[in-house]
Amino acid sequence: DADVTQTPRNRITKTGKRIMLECSQTKGHDRMYWYRQDPGLGLRLIYYSFDVKDINKGEISDGYSVSRQAQAKFSLSLESAIPNQTALYFCATEAQGSNEQFFGPGTRLTVL
């Protein structure tokens, strides 16, 4: 089945460590997004990419970086993790012109 997958699904790390979250999709969609969800809140955008050569900052990009290695892969990095980056992270995809977004299963990240 065409899908959006995220790895790892759960991760516990320590303050100051570098960590990468990965997203892959088999939907053939051009557009990919990284969101973060904090307890009791909706999702907020970190970065998005409309194609391999296009990267855009979202609402809360400070402390994060991304890499679009291929149309199907979009990675999120925390260069030096801090406790307030503890959250649930979602990757999403969208076909150009469709307006509908599809979400991966999420990565639960804890920074101690």
Compare residues 33 and 64 and give the one whose CB is closer to other proteins.
Answer: 33
Decide: is 101 part of the binding site for other proteins (CB under 8 A).
yes
Which of 14-22, 55-63, 68-76, 77-85 is the region at the interface with other proteins (rule: CB under 8 A)?
55-63
- The residue (of 12 and 80) whose beta carbon lies closer to other proteins is 12
CB of 58 to other proteins, least distance (A): 6
**Is residue 26 a contact residue for other proteins (CB under 8 A)?**
no
Q: What is the DSSP string of the chain?
A: ---EEEE-SEEEE-TT--EEEEEEESS--SEEEEEEE-TTS-EEEEEEEEETTEEEE-TT-TTEEEEEEETTEEEEEESS--GGG-EEEEEEEE-TTT--EEE---EEEEE-
